[in-house]
Amino acid sequence: MLLLAGFFTSCLTLPGLLLYSEAVPISMDKTKISKPEENIQEAPQSVDTGLHYDRYLREVIDFLEKDQHFREKLHNTDMEDIKQGKLAKELDFVSHHVRTKLDELKRQEVSRLRTLIKAKQDLEGGKADMTVDHQALLKQFEYLNHMNPHTFEVEDLDRLIRSATHDLENFDKERHEEFKRYEMMKEHERREHLRTLDEEGRRREEQHYEEMKRKHADHPKVNHPGSQDQLKEVWEEADGLDPEDFDPKTFFNLHDTNGDGFFDEQELEALFTKELEKIYDPTNEEDDMVEMEEERLRMREHVMNEVDSNKDRLVSLDEFLIATKKKEFLEPDSWETLEQNQVYTDEEMREFEEHLVQQEQELSLKASDLQKQKEELERQQQQLNAQKLELQQAVEHMERLKTQRVEPPSEVHVEGNAVPQEEQNVQAPGAGQLSAQQHQNLHPDPQVLQAGHQQQPPPAVPQAQHAVP
């Protein structure tokens, strides 16, 4: 039973969006998509959830399902309890072998995260001598307990389940928001473009825009997603079967591509391709393929809401068969397509544009701040240069004074002054006076040192010189 895996992989997101739209020329990463053919053989395999920790998530689930006890618990725990963390506690009863393997998976994952952090810092040009608080950086990854990087504990499983559930549940919401921003940006750019045109150009552009809108809205009737009419069309056109023979159970088995007994989100979305092709053609200027994927998402959400009665984000055969008996299945309302309603309100558009203006202002403010900083630095640099020049002149002046005044006596070496010798005091009686002088010489004013000293060399200095080891 792959309930947990099914639960997570049913929450399919970006990859699911793209899997059935290979011909669509939108620039997104398709490398993460696992091919449906690969899933057909053997036991059903879980599909990429689209989460950045997808691999870790799937490996943990795979290993847990190898454990007899855990598998049984999984089977008998309902989804709400799983989300509440009841299942995680069963980890304590999992076999030693599986626990060891989980520890290993966690260590690998922590090490992968560390590598990521390091790579990110390298990219940002982090300094070598900067001490990096890895612990603090690891904290941002909430799906494992970073305080204990070595073993996989109940808390790790609990965190993993909670994070994955939360992240996946919010995925659709985020995609809708992203799509809204996309549409507003498109409109904003259109308006900006209009501003650059003269009156005649603007008139023509507006006319063209309206024409494209009309063209896009002109398409064959779209069936209500999940209705008998819609599924029958798939049955007839995609499966090449006789509409007279339409049988819901056969239909279900045909389109449960990975054979796990459920329609997951990806499998549902695949059912809408026929409908979407009525509205969208990638070769048409008026058809936006990003909008097509939003429509696919809307359709899947609608069917999931109607049919998935236990809310596990999977449609079981039973749920499907019950739905096919309902009035909405047999006599559906018409489906309101995406272009029939603007996805953002005028108020939202106004806010969006205000935000853009604000961002621009912040950027220019930052730029002028930087310019000021630069000017200040230049001013300081000039000041420093001037000070340096003054200093240089002073040194040169002193050098000149030195060479003019000093006739260095052959025996006297100024450097000797720097040598303090306690023994000298012992060796030479009455050297207290000498010592005081030496002391003075040890801490001289460098500017008067040489001249003053050489004018009146202390009598014992040459002697002291000889005592230097």
Minimum separation from the CB atom of position 29 to Ca ion (A)? 24
Residue 276 makes CB contacts below 8 A (sequence gap 6+) with 292, 295, 296
Q: Does 262 bind Ca ion (CB under 5 A)?
A: yes
Only one of the segments 89-97, 180-188, 226-234, 267-275 lies at the binding site for Ca ion (rule: CB under 5 A); that segment is: 267-275
Q: Does 294 bind Ca ion (CB under 5 A)?
A: no
Q: Does 312 bind Ca ion (CB under 5 A)?
A: yes
Q: Cα 433 to the chain's mean position, in Å?
A: 77
Minimum separation from the CB atom of position 255 to Ca ion (A)? 8
Total binding residues for Ca ion by CB under 5 A?
A: 9
Q: Does 252 bind Ca ion (CB under 5 A)?
A: no
**Residue holding tokens 């002193």?**
398
Residue 294 makes CB contacts below 8 A (sequence gap 6+) with 175, 176, 179, 338, 343
b/e per residue 137-172 (b: at least 16 CB within 10 A): bbeebebbbbeebeebbeebbbbbbbbbbebbeebb
Q: Does 258 bind Ca ion (CB under 5 A)?
A: yes
| Residue selected from 68, 111, 253, 310 as contacting Ca ion according to rule CB under 5 A | 310
Q: Are 58 and 6 in contact (CB under 8 A)?
A: no
Only one of the segments 210-218, 265-273, 329-337, 366-374 lies at the binding site for Ca ion (rule: CB under 5 A); that segment is: 265-273
3-state DSSP percent of the chain in helix, strand and coil, to 5? 65, 0, 35
| Residue selected from 158, 260, 295, 306 as contacting Ca ion according to rule CB under 5 A | 260
- Alpha-carbon torsion angle 24, 27, 28, 34, nearest 10: 40
| Residue selected from 308, 441, 460, 461 as contacting Ca ion according to rule CB under 5 A | 308
Q: Does 228 bind Ca ion (CB under 5 A)?
A: no
Q: What are phi and psi of 263, to 5 degrees?
A: -90, 120
Minimum separation from the CB atom of position 279 to Ca ion (A)? 26
Q: Does 90 bind Ca ion (CB under 5 A)?
A: no
Minimum separation from the CB atom of position 263 to Ca ion (A)? 6
CA distance 98 to 107: 14
Which residue's CB is nearer to Ca ion, number 261 or number 416? 261
Binding site for Ca ion (CB under 5 A): 256, 258, 260, 262, 267, 308, 310, 312, 314
